[in-house]
């Protein structure tokens, strides 16, 4: 009995303590503490291709963790874009050009009658020449001072000035240009100059949906970076609206503006996958870049001042399907009847070209080149482009109900 009286206060203290612990536990379950107070790390938003989106382990959370292919180490405020630009940005340059354009005076001003009334001094005050200035971008690909850019950036330039990312300025010399691919090589004197070099990637490995980072000097704003994705691949130059080129562009929604031309298009790892070259004035958020593998194949020739080979036949063509042919043949106003097959329809044969010499005619349908079936104009153009100057190609053409084999010897495009 005395023992019970002795432990009674101890029991009361134990019951009160248990009551307080249970109460705290219930309160925490109803009103959970903030993540930081509970020891839970907050979810960070990191950038990565859309295919890598995944839900966090906490199924109750509505946030998504967007991770980059190569997670940025250290400061979590840095992104893969920052890392990519830090890697290539120093190698991006601004290219300023000047060229002289001669102007003819209006014939009215040359008339002696004008001189009698207004005097000869007025005519002498009108400038006969004008200096035109342009601006674009480029990037260093070799420590010897080799810079890649667009041919149209340095077209007919009398003077080229290259400004490095750090502000150093050098005179540039155009080593070579190729209008067909819109590529050019400019060289600067790099004696005792340590140049940063851009890392070149593999444009054949690019996939739709990959990150695309455009770097350049648009509208005169130096060192500008825009971010988007690769919208599509192998967009033909004809579809873009520049049929005089022979290119399959990388299409991106990264903002590309005048002045971006010649600058690099990067992937998420900071490798150059393309050269920004074209925009569509009638479309928002669409830009185009030359695949870097195209530049890799010919830049050494341009640096040596050599002409790049571009075999051609000399025809204007369009893809033909049985449905299109059938619709044409049922039209009473059709100018010609074409075979109802899949192939490439010849719309025009240019004079004094290999096609004319081989006997190709308007209305012919080309269905094979060297036993390889062709059904699109782009496919035929690629086969010709990959041939050699002077190589004889065997074409199977359908002319009405007849099938003919014609031998065409390719020639250099610039020769015509």
CA–CA dist 277, 248 (Å, integer): 12
- Same-domain check for residues 245 and 326: no
14 in a domain, yes or no? Answer: yes
Determine the average pLDDT of the residues in 153-165.
Answer: 91
- Same-domain check for residues 280 and 316: no
Determine the average pLDDT of the residues in 25-37.
Answer: 45
CA–CA dist 346, 222 (Å, integer): 46
Strands 92-102 and 311-312: unpaired
Number of neighbouring beta carbons within 10 Å of residue 277: 31
- Same-domain check for residues 319 and 409: yes
68 in a domain, yes or no? Answer: no
CA–CA dist 170, 330 (Å, integer): 64
Confidence band, pLDDT 50/70/90 cuts, at residue 35:
very low
Model pTM? 0.68
Specify the pLDDT at position 17.
61
- Same-domain check for residues 182 and 215: no
What are the angstrom distances between the C-alpha of 7 and each of 18, 19, 21, 55?
17, 19, 21, 55
- Same-domain check for residues 370 and 328: yes
Specify the pLDDT at position 208.
94
221 in a domain, yes or no? Answer: yes
User: Could you tell me how many residues make up the chain?
Assistant: 416
Phi-psi region of 314 (alpha: psi -120 to 50; beta: other; left: phi over 0): left
- Same-domain check for residues 211 and 268: yes
60 in a domain, yes or no? Answer: no
Task: Please tell me what DSSP assigns to residue 307.
Answer: P
Task: List the CATH number of the domain containing 340.
Answer: 2.30.42.10
Specify the pLDDT at position 346.
94
What are the angstrom distances between the C-alpha of 300 and each of 49, 92, 196, 221?
33, 19, 19, 30
Question: In this structure, are residues 321 and 342 in contact, taking their beta carbons and an 8 Å threshold?
Answer: yes
Q: Specify the number of domains making up the chain.
A: 4
Comparing 268 with 415, the larger pLDDT belongs to: 268
pLDDT tens by residue, 266-305: 999 999 999 998 666 665 678 899 999 999 999 999 999 9
Confidence band, pLDDT 50/70/90 cuts, at residue 188:
very high
Number of neighbouring beta carbons within 10 Å of residue 125: 7
- Same-domain check for residues 174 and 227: no
Task: Please tell me what DSSP assigns to residue 72.
Answer: P
Torsion angle of the four alpha carbons 255, 260, 261, 262, in this order, in degrees rounded to the nearest 10 = -120
Confidence band, pLDDT 50/70/90 cuts, at residue 42:
very low
- Same-domain check for residues 157 and 241: no
Confidence band, pLDDT 50/70/90 cuts, at residue 175:
very high
Among 208, 228, 204, residue whose Cα is nearest residue 51: 208
Strands 272-279 and 211-216: unpaired
- Same-domain check for residues 171 and 235: no
200 in a domain, yes or no? Answer: no
Determine the average pLDDT of the residues in 140-169.
Answer: 91
242 in a domain, yes or no? Answer: yes
Structural domain boundaries, residue 10: 2-31
Specify the pLDDT at position 24.
53
The DSSP string of 274-293 is: EEEEEE-TTSSS-EEEEEHH
Using the predicted structure, report yes or no on whether residue 50 has a pLDDT greater than 60: no
Specify the pLDDT at position 267.
94
Task: List the CATH number of the domain containing 216.
Answer: 2.40.10.10
pLDDT tens by residue, 225-235: 999 999 999 88
Using the predicted structure, report yes or no on whether residue 74 has a pLDDT greater than 80: no
Q: Which of 260, 291, 322 finishes a domain?
A: 291
- Same-domain check for residues 157 and 229: no
Q: Which of 188, 214, 245 finishes a domain?
A: 188
Specify the pLDDT at position 219.
73
Specify the pLDDT at position 292.
96
Task: Please tell me what DSSP assigns to residue 54.
Answer: B
Distance of CA 283 to the CA centre of its chain: 16
- Same-domain check for residues 170 and 235: no
Which residues have a catalytic role annotated? Answer: 152, 182, 261
What are the angstrom distances between the C-alpha of 412 and each of 217, 324, 355?
35, 32, 13
CA–CA dist 180, 242 (Å, integer): 10
Determine the average pLDDT of the residues in 167-187.
Answer: 92
Q: Which of 188, 221, 243 finishes a domain?
A: 188
Determine the average pLDDT of the residues in 241-245.
Answer: 71
Q: Which residues pair with 212 in a beta bridge?
A: 228
Specify the pLDDT at position 38.
37
Specify the pLDDT at position 255.
86
Confidence band, pLDDT 50/70/90 cuts, at residue 36:
very low
Question: In this structure, are residues 98 and 131 in contact, taking their beta carbons and an 8 Å threshold?
Answer: yes
346 in a domain, yes or no? Answer: yes
Which range (10-14, 46-50, 103-107, 381-385) has the least confidence?
46-50
- Same-domain check for residues 222 and 278: yes
Confidence band, pLDDT 50/70/90 cuts, at residue 91:
very high
Rg of the chain (C-alpha set): 33
CA–CA dist 96, 159 (Å, integer): 8
75 in a domain, yes or no? Answer: no
């Amino acid at each position: 009995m005395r023992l019970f009286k002795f432990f009674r206060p101890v029991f009361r203290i134990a019951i009160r303590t248990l009551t307080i612990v249970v109460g705290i536990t219930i309160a925490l379950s109803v009103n959970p503490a903030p993540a930081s107070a509970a020891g839970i790390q907050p979810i960070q938003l990191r950038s990565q291709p859309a295919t890598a989106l995944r839900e966090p382990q906490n199924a109750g959370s509505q946030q998504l963790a967007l991770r980059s292919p190569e997670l940025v180490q250290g400061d979590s405020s840095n992104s893969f874009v920052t890392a990519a630009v830090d890697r290539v940005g120093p190698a991006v340059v601004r290219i300023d050009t000047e060229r002289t354009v001669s102007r003819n005076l209006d014939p009215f001003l040359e008339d002696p009658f004008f001189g009698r009334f207004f005097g000869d001094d007025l005519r002498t005050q009108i400038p006969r020449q004008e200096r035109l200035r342009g601006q674009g971008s480029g990037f260093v690909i070799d420590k010897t001072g080799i810079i890649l850019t667009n041919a149209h950036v340095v077209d007919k330039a009398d003077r080229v000035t290259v400004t490095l990312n750090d502000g150093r300025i050098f005179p540039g010399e155009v080593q070579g240009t190729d209008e067909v691919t819109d590529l050019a090589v400019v060289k600067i004197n790099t004696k005792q100059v340590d140049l940063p070099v851009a890392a070149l990637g593999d444009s054949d490995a690019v996939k739709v949906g990959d990150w695309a980072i455009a770097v350049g000097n648009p509208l005169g704003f130096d060192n500008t970076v825009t971010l988007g994705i690769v919208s599509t691949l192998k967009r033909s130059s004809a579809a873009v609206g520049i049929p005089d080129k022979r290119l399959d562009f990388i299409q991106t929604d990264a903002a590309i503006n005048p002045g971006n031309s010649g600058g690099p298009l990067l992937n998420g790892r900071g490798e150059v996958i393309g050269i920004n070259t074209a925009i569509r004035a009638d479309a928002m958020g669409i830009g185009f870049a030359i695949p870097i593998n195209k530049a890799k194949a010919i830049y050494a020739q341009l640096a040596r001042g050599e002409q790049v080979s571009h075999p051609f036949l000399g025809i204007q063509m369009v893809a033909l399907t049985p449905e299109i042919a059938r619709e044409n043949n049922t039209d009473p106003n059709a100018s010609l009847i074409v075979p109802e097959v899949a192939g490439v329809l010849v719309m025009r044969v240019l004079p004094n070209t290999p096609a004319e010499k081989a006997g190709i005619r308007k209305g012919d349908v080309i269905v094979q080149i060297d036993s390889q079936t062709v059904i699109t104009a782009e496919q035929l153009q690629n086969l010709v482009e990959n041939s050699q100057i002077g190589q004889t190609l065997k074409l199977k053409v359908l002319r009405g109900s007849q099938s003919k084999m014609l031998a065409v010897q390719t020639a250099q495009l610039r020769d015509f």
